[in-house]
Structures are given as C-alpha cells and as structure tokens.
Amino acid sequence: PAAFVAGIAGTFLLVSVVGGIFAAAGEDIDGDSAAFTIVGTLVQGSVFIGVAVLFAAMTAPPRPADFGLRRAPFWPSVGWAALGMVCFYVFAGLYAALLDPQGEQRVTEALGADQGTLTLVLAGLVVIVFAPVAEEVFFRGFFFGALRGRFALLPAALINGVLFGLVHFTGSGTLALLPILGVLGLVFCLVYERTGSLYPVIAMHAVNNTVAFSVQADGSTAVALTLGVLMVTACAIAPRVLARSEVATVVTRG
C-alpha cells in the first residue's frame, strides 16, 4: 500500500538527513551514537504519524476517532487486552522453548540506556511512551483500518502483523524475532478489532515495551515501571477526557 511505502521512504529520507547533520557535526553515526539513535527513532515515529494524517486528510479532515482514539467500554477492553497479552506471551514462551531462537533486539543499548541516568530516562520515554503511540496510530489506527476496507479480519491482521515485524528488523540479530513481533502485531489488530479503540492496544504495547526495557537495560526497572504505569493510566483516562472535551465542543457550538 502507498501509505506504508511512503512511511518507510519518508523515514529513510529524513533519517539520512539527520545522519548527514550528525556526521557534519563530527558525530560517529556508525558507532554507539545514542543521540543519533534517539533522534532517528523520533523521526521514524513522527513520519508514521504524519503519513497517517496526510493520507487520511485526502478524504476528509481527520479526527482522533478516525485513528481509533475513541472511548470503549472499560472492563471489556481490560479483559480483551489482558487476554491478548496472555496469548502473546504463551506463544512467545513456546516459540522460545521449542526453537531456541538466537536473536535479540538490543534497542535499549542503541538508545544509550546504559550510559547514564539521563539517557536511561530518555530511552525509556522513547521506548515506552513515544513508540507505542506513534506505531499504533500508524499500524493499527490507520494502516489496519485501510486493510480492513479491502480484506477480511484475519488476512488484514496477518498482513499488518508481518509488516509490523519487518519494520523492526535491524539485522541478522533480529531475524529470529520476526515471528514473535509479527504475532504481536497480529494480536494488537485482533484486540483493536474487538474493542474498537486504540487505547487498550497502546496500553498493551507500552506494557510489552516496559517488560522488554526492564529486562534489557541494567538498573532500569524503576524507570520502566514508572513510565509503564503512567502510560497505562493515561490510556485509561484519556478516552474520558477526550469524550468530555468533544461534548463541551458540541455544546459550545450549539
């Protein structure tokens, strides 16, 4: 699909520009440059959101609800999210036990989480706060919605999951993880389909990244748990705040 290609191409172009700027400033972008990785990750997420908004605006002025940012029944959403996470971790555990995949996604190291408190917090904000929002708005809120306009639920979820996994491919070290990431994307699609809201999926994504972050980065448990709890809380509160603001807007216009 054009939107997916545009997202990848836009990311590559802007990250290349950022790389040129860092290189001109004397930064070793081929080495362990946490600053470059953080900026590159922020650029990628921003491009994803920008592409989603741009393509959606071609048909009508986009609203938050168009990307799944809408209120859903609280407890059913909690139930579906919990069920989705349990199913995913069961699959991931079986996959690891049966195939013993020799792969690891060392995102936290690339973001400089082991280089000091400041970079640890910045890396946590990128991984646990920014990435779940940006990736879910694009992959589930926008891209999966577009796929559902053409395909049934399962094919759309499978396509979305595969491409979600491929986007996280960073080299041979992550090859064995692609099936796990693909299934994670598939589960996110199914939960989004059942709840009709992106907030439970963003919360799931944040929880998964919290677990991964706390495992990968030494001394990161407190930071990871704090950010993870804040994200889950925000996902529970945001739909109600948004709904009230929309009601207030309607009343004001009336």
For residue 174, the model assigns a pLDDT of: 79
Which residues of the chain have a pLDDT value below 50? 22-23, 29, 31, 250-251
**Distance, CA of 171 to CA of 240 (rounded, Å):** 41
The single-letter code of the amino acid at 43 is: V
* DSSP codes of every residue in 8-73: HHHHHHHHHHHHHHHHHTT--TTS--HHHHHHHHHHHHHHHHHHHHHHHHTTS---GGGGT-S---
Question: Please, where are the H alpha helices in the chain?
Answer: 2-24, 34-57, 74-99, 107-110, 117-124, 131-136, 145-148, 153-167, 178-195, 199-216, 221-253
DSSP 177: G
136, 225 in Cβ contact below 8 A?
no
* Span 161-187, pLDDT tens digits: 999 998 888 777 778 889 999 999 999
- Per-residue pLDDT tens for 121-171? 988 999 999 999 999 999 999 999 999 999 999 999 999 999 999 888 877
Q: How far apart are CA 73 and CA 226, in angstroms?
A: 25
